[in-house]
Amino acid sequence: MPLQEEVRELAGELPLSANAMVVLKKRYLKKDELGQPTEAAPDMFRRVAQTIAGIDRTYDPDADVDATARKFYHMMASLAFMPNSPTLMNAGRELGQLSACFVLPVEDDIESIFDAIKFTAMIHKSGGGTGFSFSRIRPENDPVMSTRGVASGPISFMNIFDVATETIKQGGTRRGANMGILRVDHPDIEKFVTCKNDTKKLTNFNISVGLTDAFMDAVLNDQDFPLINPRSGREMGRVKASRLFDLIVQSAWATGEPGIIFLDAINRGNPLPHLGDIEATNPCGEQPLLPYESCNLGSLNLARVVQDGQLDYAALKDLVHTAVHFLDNVIDANNFPLEIIREHTLKNRKIGLGVMGFADMLLLLGIPYNSDEAVRTAEEVMAFIQKESQAASAALAEKRGNFPTFPGSRYDGNGLGRMRHATTTTIAPTGTISILAGCSSGIEPLFAVSYVRRVLEGTELVEVHPLFEELARRRGFYSPELMRHIAQTGTIRDIKEIPKDVRRLFVTAHETSPQWHIRIQAAFQKYTDNAVSKTVNFPRQAAPEDVRQVYFMAYEMGLKGVTIYRDGSRDQQVLSFGKDAPKPQEAQYITPRPRPARTSGVTELITTGCGKLYVTVNSDELGFCEVFAQMGKTGGCASSQIESTGRLISLALRSGVKIDAIIKQITGIRCPSPIWQNGSQLLSCPDAIARVLRSVAQVDATPEAAAMATCPDCGSAVEHEGGCLVCRACGFSKCS
């Protein structure tokens, strides 16, 4: 049967969830000029499968491309494997850029810096994310001989990259994302460590400090540590290593950033040491890359290889070999954004096969996430994937040849005479593709057993993990009331009517101690070529010393990097389940001051997706006191809502509410008609009023900072995953 007919036959049979369909329509499917999908999910999988399979003819004119396309199609349509998002979005389309991860060099000269900014814009426009090491840029106030001035330092240039990313925004399909890394021995390291303590700055960057073995030894031995000027190679001073380490810990404890990467551990695993040291990673840290390299990622859904309570290793082996074939073809099918990236990628042919659905797999096997058995299972599964991915790579090399830089690589002379790829495995965050696959993210534990999802017009739906719901019904303790109760906290730990063995099995991220997070990450890292992206969760009451100990544990266990998040550590809680809000001792009421007879103010015209909006902001002798807003066209529901918004803002101002608090409340509210204006998106009329208020009051309250607690697209809760924020309701991702 031809694949097209098979796709049509299966069109109604794909096991896609309601969330997956929302994400597909919003972020993946082809659309017409009006933004309406012109393909369905089976069409997308067919488009990708046929495009990637067609590469076989490059190596064998007689290849059975239809058979290969059918294998690729079933691998994706059965939700057993998903490639990284750009491949799903762009394969078989005009853009044709299929890679998620890029690293660009940043040298200590103005041409290199602004070339990197230009290349970053091109990569972000094509749907990729970028990583940089800023360690080669001379420190702040260092002499610049060509101008007889002084240098502004790496952080100042990071701000320019950030503004460029904010401007591009990847057309609303995939957001721009960057990773900024600075070596711990750079003279500006303290300024770098604290540069994101103000969470409204560098919003398009994740940042990580590049730690070295020498620095960790100095910390452990309470020694001074030299800071080296990268321009001259000379020592510029010394710091107490333990004090600098504590500054890193304190900042991460307070805000979740910076992350840390262990540069020497990364380079001990560098498969291509003859080409140079690795200095940077992609935005979520799982893909260390040489300058101008890119990498294509894909993830296996481990929940799909459990049969009758056992892992089906024969099925997993077949999946691994098919996935490696797929990812190898992606390299050749790719329309790279820069010729130099194409050259470097083809020389090394790195791929990154990883996993998702690990927590679901453990549930199906009856294994709690925070257990020795889970650690053993993680090692066993990843060791198998590593072995089979290398075997698949070697088999492809027999037919297609080694990667060109094989001579001198770690494989040369190590008994692996044939290898098609310099790396084969990576554990990436799988935010949106795990939503498509209907499984848990990457190697993370369950986010929640049950949670509330907001849908259209403010309706709230209780989402329950399907395995838990099935078990609850089978055991006889299911009820809608119980599910709603669980959604208040996300956890079943203290619910006595649920059997103890069920409570032990369904543990969530915040019930899993940081030490278990590290042990699971280390188990996967042991058998992963590249690195492992994971968030180590801490409870709200954790102390900085707890973070410090986890960093030491990660270093000792050979991890290549760590990202931590302490519950509630940002200005607003990333997830609020409903029981955390403090209850007032007694109600207090405020009488607003009367409106004076005369006020003074300004009126500003701002164009929204609904039309021209006139916003007037007035003041009296005590400060701002009222806001009027009116649409250019009168009448209708929109006008009445705008008028009521102005009245309520005015009431709040005369009741003593600070204007920046009001701005934060109405910033980021989204309507069906957002528009782009002056390089940023205007989401609604309330969002427009907030912009005018910011301008008039000169308040710095960005939409992203204000909307951090919930998804800016749909209002549902967002998860921390691998240093990123992901909404499982609609697929929004802050880092991809």
Would the pLDDT of 417 be above 50? yes
Residue ranges of alpha helices (H) inside 401-513 are 431-437, 466-475, 480-487, 500-505
pLDDT at res. 531: 98
pLDDT at res. 706: 34
Whether 126 contacts 175, CB under 8 Å = no
- Sorted by where each begins, the domain ranges of the chain are 3-98+297-424, 438-585, 600-706
Rounded CA-CA distance 434/446 in Å is 12
Q: Under CATH, which number does the domain 3-98+297-424 receive?
A: 3.20.70.20
Per-residue burial over 535-545, b = 16 or more CB atoms within 10 Å of its CB, e = otherwise: bbbbeeebeee
pLDDT at res. 569: 79
The mean pLDDT value for 580-584 works out to 41
pLDDT at res. 68: 98
pLDDT at res. 80: 97
Interstrand relation of 724-726 and 205-211 (parallel, antiparallel or unpaired): unpaired
The mean pLDDT value for 600-612 works out to 85
Rounded CA-CA distance 378/370 in Å is 12
Would the pLDDT of 56 be above 90? yes
The mean pLDDT value for 196-225 works out to 94
The mean pLDDT value for 169-178 works out to 63
Q: Which two tokens stand for residue 274?
A: 């003859």
The mean pLDDT value for 13-25 works out to 84
The mean pLDDT value of the chain amounts to: 88
pLDDT at res. 568: 78
95-123, pLDDT tens digit by residue?
A: 999 999 999 999 999 999 999 999 999 99
Give the residue from 1, 35, 7, 13 showing the smallest Cα distance to 673.
35
Would the pLDDT of 168 be above 50? yes
Whether 245 contacts 547, CB under 8 Å = no
Lowest average pLDDT, out of 83-87, 149-153, 230-234, 482-486, goes to 149-153
Rounded CA-CA distance 443/533 in Å is 8
Would the pLDDT of 409 be above 50? yes
What's CA 676's distance to the chain center, in Å?
24
The fraction of the chain above a pLDDT of 70, given in percent, is 88
Give the residue from 8, 172, 728 showing the smallest Cα distance to 437.
728
Q: Which two tokens stand for residue 560?
A: 């290549």
| Cα-trace Rg, the chain | 26
Q: Tell me the one-letter amino acid at 604.
A: E
Which residues are known catalytic residues? 282, 284, 286
